[in-house]
Structure 1
Amino acid sequence: MRQNDLYINKIDWLSILLYGALVMIGWFNIYAAVYDEQAAKSIFDFSINSGKQLVWIGTAVLLITVIMVADYRLFDNLSLILYGIFLLILLLTPFIGKEINGQRAWFEIGPFRLQPGEFAKFATALALAKFIEKPSFDLSQPKFQLQAILVILLPVSLIMLQPDTGTAMVYMAFFIMLYREGMPQKYYVFALVFIAISLLSLAVDNNLYIALPVAGLTLILILLGKKNWQRIVTLCLIGIAIIAYSYSLDLVVSKLPQHQQNRIMVLFNPDIDPLGVGWNVTQSKIAIGSGGFWGKGYLEGTQTKFDFVPEQHTDFIFCTLGEEFGWIGSLVVVFLFAALLIRLVFLAERQKTRFSRVYGYCVISILLFHFMINISMTIGLFPVVGIPLPFFSYGGSSLWSFTILLFIFIKLDSHRIQLLGRMN
């Protein structure tokens, strides 16, 4: 009994409280997103999304109970087995999954749909933690970098077969964890430069605007630098590579499906087709902006009531919040997310084992990536890629996967002392 009390006292109730607050606020906003003043139904009505979400919330509580009463050693012992199982499921999904909007990313079980790519995140996080926990695993060495990258890219490649670009993109968040664990900084600098050049290439109409400055800068660096052939050849090759990439990117983009090309175009020119490809983002920004400082009031959002924003209960749920609760309401939710992420960083840093710390930073990376991309998407700072807002957006797969991801870490944290003894 005393051991039980000790375990309960070590559970991080603050993280659970923040989780509960986000889930409940999200639930009320899901009801607001589908609210029909002419045929108003109770928030508990199972025929509408808020009632269905309540079922998912209830089952999420059951999942939490199972995780918290399970033996904490299971997550370490079964990590690679779970990873293998989900790789197999992802491999089968394009063949036997339910096709929705041109993607075979879901399994349909009666009235419910489950998305394996969402659940594979926690399995991938556990597998990465299992690999990296070894004392000999050194991310400053190329062979270990390759191993970690392969663990990430295997599920990504299988998800792209569905194809589900948005879900696959989320797995890149694991590189945030790799940076914390010692991946060389030069790779991240290169990635940022690569992204900057890509955005610049997509933003300009004529690639000569890139080619001429790059050629001029290369020439200046050669003239100002030391006159040795190795330096000159290196600078010339870098300049040629940048120019070639800017031109080839246009060719690559032209081969993408039309809807993905449209999303990229809208990012740089939202007014290019406000009644067509730019409709979602334009209406989302109108909804958020119309909320002003205090908002229009709960269930009073006109953009929401008249369904101006498609998918407002899922990917664009944040604009419902912005319209009805304004800047203040949006700030409160952003604060709750920030508080949860900061708290998780604190928990990750106090772990006694590398396994728990790595897994903790995987959780942080996934939640941070979803949070930043989803909100950026709703205000037009990122292309629409179908990434839900954690704990907030409607959907069982989303809520379950984030719940499992988070509560495995809370469970590991509550047993951090026992884990240390077991590892030793």
Structure 2
Amino acid sequence: MRESDIHINRVDWIAVSIYFLLVTIGWFNIYAAVYDSQVEKSIFDFSINSGKQLVWIGTAIALITLIMVADFRFFENLSLIIYGIFLILLILTPFIGKEVNGQILSIGFGDFRIQPGEFAKFATALALAKVMERPTFDLSKGKFQAIAFGVLMLPVLLILLQPDTGTAMVYFSLLLMFYREGLPQWYYMLGIGFVAITLLALGIENNLYLAIAILGLMGILIFLGKKSWQRIIAFSLIGIGLIAYIYSIDFVVSKLPEHQQNRIMVLFNPDIDPLGVGWNVTQSKIAIGSGGLLGKGYLEGTQTKFDFVPEQHTDFIFCTLGEEFGWVGSLIVIGLFTGLLYRLVVMAERQKNRFSRIYGYCVISILLFHFMINIAMTIGLFPVVGIPLPFFSYGGSSLWSFTVLLFIFIKFDSSRASQLGRIN
């Protein structure tokens, strides 16, 4: 039997099927989000978003075909070159890109434009897999931590210059892969602690109370432990540092663009401006809640039909699903995403070499982050940061980048028998 036949037989058709189900359901929901009963254009009409999305779906299938017929070694051997190309595109974006709403995210010619920040996700995943594939690469050691974090942070810093905080945040999801590969747990404990302190500092109106609580906690830790000048000095410095940090948060937030400041305000006080900065989230929650158990029916959503939710075909596509298909429809789609993620974990753990496993966990991390944050945005549990729902939201760059990200891993998985004997 030829090697190509073996690869076809080893394709994980469960993951492929879930992908096409999500893309198809997403396409129908994009049509619902732009449907106008007064005009009643066909879902195939190229003048509306559903027709344009169909073109993106067709080209995504072409990308899938190219990936699956290519040699799996192609992506591994050129991983650092691909990474370098997208770093260059990220550098060029602020200079040659198109500005939309104060952000310069896309480059291209005429109507054909791509967002390098979206495609740099799979490039960064490939680069991390490449630099970390050696058996001697140990994330418990500082030298290797510096290398891994360096590869991760380069695109993050370049994306922040655009500025695109939402996309930059996605890259930190790769810390989940770092955990799988042995990054010490204290990094995550420290990170969770800083996140908690940041949320408290943003949510508490008077930071003096938080500062007093931190001083009290440090005092308790000093009192309960062994008395020594070193301990007293260490915990005192930690307390002073934390207090300085919480008071610096207001300064940092004040330097953010106004729309990002508003999104943070709405998270902690959803009713602060329901007709202004809180409009999107308020209307999204109304749309989802009004769907009830079974929904209002396809193309029957009133919140959707009368354009109450801005950007409903992109970042807020999930509320279309919730309104028209209700709790049951939402649960089915969440189940599909969960099933895909579970399948990817199974695939990652059965890889025959470290490169493929690391890349697989990068895919899992990115998809999980997008899935969780996008839905959390639509129900008001997270600030609106412009993160699309994978395979669902409208847009060529989004669909293409997620498709390439996923199917490179599916290609690696289908070729795992050919990887026997390589370095693990």
Q: TM-score, normalization: structure 1?
A: 0.98
What is the identity, as a one-letter code, of the residue corresponding to 1:318?
A: F
CA distance in 2, matches of 1:412, 1:4: 13
In the TM superposition, what whole-angstrom CA distance separates every residue of 1:78-122 from its partner, at most 9, and x where no partner exists? 101111111111111110111111111101333222111111111
Aligned counterparts, 1:181-330, within 5 A: 181-330=181-330
What is the identity, as a one-letter code, of the residue corresponding to 2:43?
A: I
The more displaced of 262-271 and 5-14 is 5-14
Contact 2:353 2:422 in 1 (8 A): no
Corresponding residue for residue 23 of structure 2: 23
What is the identity, as a one-letter code, of the residue corresponding to 2:181?
A: E
Look up the SS of the partner of 2:420 in the other structure: helix
What is the identity, as a one-letter code, of the residue corresponding to 1:368?
A: L
CA distance in 1, matches of 2:250, 2:71: 52
Q: Give every structure 1 segment of 4 or more consecutive aligned residues whose post-TM-superposition deviation is greater than 6 Å.
A: none
Contact 2:130 2:355 in 1 (8 A): yes
Look up the SS of the partner of 2:187 in the other structure: helix
Look up the SS of the partner of 1:273 in the other structure: coil
Q: How many residues end up aligned between the 2 structures?
A: 424
Corresponding residue for residue 33 of structure 1: 33
Look up the SS of the partner of 1:162 in the other structure: coil
Contact 2:134 2:423 in 1 (8 A): no
CA distance in 2, matches of 1:5, 1:124: 30
Look up the SS of the partner of 1:205 in the other structure: coil
CA distance in 1, matches of 2:216, 2:154: 41
Identity over aligned pairs, percent? 74
Aligned counterparts, 1:40-55, within 5 A: 40-55=40-55
What is the identity, as a one-letter code, of the residue corresponding to 2:95?
A: F
Look up the SS of the partner of 2:421 in the other structure: helix
Q: Does 1:94 align with 2:94?
A: yes
CA distance in 2, matches of 1:221, 1:52: 60
CA distance in 2, matches of 1:44, 1:420: 46
CA distance in 2, matches of 1:364, 1:185: 20
CA distance in 1, matches of 2:390, 2:370: 7
Corresponding residue for residue 141 of structure 1: 141
Structure 1 residues without counterparts, runs of 5 or longer: none
Look up the SS of the partner of 1:113 in the other structure: strand
What is the identity, as a one-letter code, of the residue corresponding to 1:254?
A: S
What is the identity, as a one-letter code, of the residue corresponding to 2:351?
A: Q
Corresponding residue for residue 388 of structure 2: 388
Corresponding residue for residue 65 of structure 1: 65
The more displaced of 31-40 and 5-14 is 5-14
CA distance in 1, matches of 2:272, 2:262: 10
Q: TM-score, normalization: structure 2?
A: 0.98
What is the identity, as a one-letter code, of the residue corresponding to 1:335?
A: G
The more displaced of 371-380 and 217-226 is 217-226
CA distance in 1, matches of 2:352, 2:169: 31
Corresponding residue for residue 116 of structure 2: 116
The more displaced of 13-22 and 252-261 is 252-261
In the TM superposition, what whole-angstrom CA distance separates every residue of 1:135-173 from its partner, at most 9, and x where no partner exists? 111100001001000101111111112111111111111
CA distance in 1, matches of 2:274, 2:320: 20
What is the identity, as a one-letter code, of the residue corresponding to 1:86?
A: F
Look up the SS of the partner of 2:276 in the other structure: coil
In the TM superposition, what whole-angstrom CA distance separates every residue of 1:295-325 from its partner, at most 9, and x where no partner exists? 1111010000010000000000000001111
Q: CA RMSD in A?
A: 1.1
Deviation, 1:226, is 2.2
The more displaced of 141-150 and 224-233 is 224-233
CA distance in 1, matches of 2:196, 2:80: 36
CA distance in 2, matches of 1:217, 1:79: 47
CA distance in 2, matches of 1:219, 1:91: 47
What is the identity, as a one-letter code, of the residue corresponding to 1:104?
A: I
- 1:421–1:203 CA distance, 2 compared to 1 (3 A): same
Deviation, 1:344, is 0.1
CA distance in 2, matches of 1:87, 1:113: 17
Aligned counterparts, 1:169-188, within 5 A: 169-188=169-188
Deviation, 1:190, is 0.2
Corresponding residue for residue 359 of structure 1: 359
What is the identity, as a one-letter code, of the residue corresponding to 2:219?
A: L
CA distance in 1, matches of 2:131, 2:222: 45
Deviation, 1:421, is 3.2
Aligned counterparts, 1:411-422, within 5 A: 411-422=411-422
Contact 2:30 2:50 in 1 (8 A): yes
CA distance in 2, matches of 1:69, 1:220: 63
Look up the SS of the partner of 2:275 in the other structure: coil
Deviation, 1:422, is 4.6
What is the identity, as a one-letter code, of the residue corresponding to 2:261?
A: Q
What is the identity, as a one-letter code, of the residue corresponding to 1:101?
A: N
Deviation, 1:2, is 4.1
What is the identity, as a one-letter code, of the residue corresponding to 1:18?
A: I
Look up the SS of the partner of 1:307 in the other structure: coil
Look up the SS of the partner of 1:309 in the other structure: coil
Structure 2 residues without counterparts, runs of 5 or longer: none
